[in-house]
Amino acid sequence: MNKKPILVVSGEPNSIFFEIFFKSLISNKFKCPIIVIVSNKIFKFHKKKLKYNFKINLLDINKLTHKNLNNNEINLININYNFPIKFNKISSDSKKYIDECFSCAFDLIKKKITNKLINGPISKKFFLRKKYLGVTEYIAKHFNKKNYAMLIYNKNISVCPITTHLPLKYVVKNIKKETIIKKIEIINLFYKKFLKKKPKFAVTGLNPHCESVSSYNEDDKIVVPSIKKLKKKGINIRGPFSADTLFLKNNRSKYDVIVGMYHDQVLTPIKTLFEFDAINITLGLPFLRVSPDHGPNEKMVGKNLSDPLSLIRSLKFLDN
C-alpha cells in the first residue's frame, strides 16, 4: 500500500530550514515520500552554499501521482521566486512567495493527495504583518476553522497555551471558559484518536499562585468552572496549579499535557527542558500540520551549525 507523502513548505528563503532539512535527510531514512514545496532557485542556492549534493526530482503539480515520487531523490515542486536572494537578510520580498508555497500545499491537501504538512520557519514580522497572530492562525483561517489548538508535543510532556502569540496586555480579555473547554477537548480527542491514549491534563492558573489582589480572580471565575465542566465530560484533568512549581520533575511527571493561559507561561519551561526535542502541532484541522519548534534564526544561516532535531522529530511524527 502506498504511503501518503509528507508535504514540506520550506518557509522563509533566508532561514536555517535548508541546513536542517539536508541534515535530516542525510541522517535518517523515511518510509513516506517527502515533497518539498520551494523555489528551485533558492533550493539550489542553499544546496551549493552548504555543499550538499542531493539530486532533485522536479515534479509537475498537474500530473502528480505516487508513481512520480522518488525516495532516492528530493521530490520538489518549484514555486517561482523573482527577487535576488539576500543571504542572511529576511525581508518582506518573500511574503507573496511563501503565500504561494502554502497555497500549493493547501491545494494538494484539498485534492486528497495527502493529509500531512510540515512548514519550515517563517518570520511573523514580515510574512504575517500583524494580520495573524501566528502561522497556526494563518492556516486555520485558510480552512475556515475557528476551533483549534497549538500543541507543543514531546512524548514525555506536552503543552498548550490557551492564547498564542498575543501581547500580555490582551491575554486576560481572551481567557474564556468556552476557549479553555474547546481547546482541551480538541487535544483530548487527538491523544485518543492518533496516540491511542487517554491523556492526563494539568491546567495552570492565570495569576501568580492562582491568586489575585483584585476583587475579580480569573482563576476562580473562569479556570475552575472550566475544569469542573471538563471533568463532567469524562476528561482526566486537574488544576488550576501555580505555574512556578507545576513543571518541577515530580509534578510534571504525573501528566501528559500541561495547559497554560498564555504563550511563554508554558513554552519557556518546555523549551528549557527539551530544547529542540519538541514539535508544534496544530490540532483541529482536517489534516496533520506540524512544524519545528523554532524560528528562522537568520544569524545562523549558512554556518552549518544548526540542530535539526526538531525537524527530524516532525518528519518522523508524520512518517507512517
pTM: 0.91
What percent of the chain lies above the pLDDT cut of 70? 98
Q: What is the pLDDT of residues 151-163, one digit of tens each?
A: 999 999 999 999 9
CB neighbours (10 Å) of residue 91? 13
Question: What is the per-residue pLDDT across 142-197, written as a single tens digit (0 to 9) for each?
Answer: 999 999 999 999 999 999 999 999 999 999 999 999 999 999 999 999 999 999 99
Q: Confidence band (pLDDT; 50, 70, 90) for 88?
A: low
CATH number of 1-145+285-320: 3.40.718.10
Residue 36 backbone zone (phi > 0: left; psi -120 to 50: alpha; other: beta)? beta
Long-range contacts of 128-133 (CB under 8 A, 24+ apart): 129/92, 129/95, 133/164, 133/165, 133/166
User: Mean pLDDT across the stretch 219-248?
Assistant: 98
User: Is a pLDDT exceeding 90 seen at residue 270?
Assistant: yes
Question: What's the mean pLDDT when you consider all of the chain?
Answer: 92
Residue 138 scores a pLDDT above 80: yes
Tell me the domain boundaries of the chain.
1-145+285-320, 150-275
Phi-psi sector, 292: left (phi>0), alpha (psi -120 to 50), beta? beta
pLDDT for position 1: 46
Please report, as a single letter, which amino acid is at residue 294.
Answer: H
For residue 257, give Cα distances in angstroms to 91, 135, 277, 319.
36, 22, 16, 23
Mean pLDDT, range 107-111, rounded to an integer: 95
Residues 6+ apart with CB under 8 A from 245: 251
Alpha carbon distance 36, 9 (integer Å):
6
Cα–Cα dist 306/253, whole Å: 30
Q: How confident is the model at residue 132 (pLDDT cuts 50, 70, 90)?
A: confident
Confidence check: pLDDT of 302 > 80 = no
Fold of 150-275: Isopropylmalate Dehydrogenase (3.40.718)
* Mean pLDDT confidence for 255-283: 96
CB atoms under 10 Å from CB of 276, counted, come to: 18
Mean pLDDT value across residues 2-13 = 91
pLDDT at 75: 96
Q: What is the pLDDT of residue 37?
A: 97
Lowest-pLDDT choice from 9-13, 23-27, 81-85, 204-208: 81-85
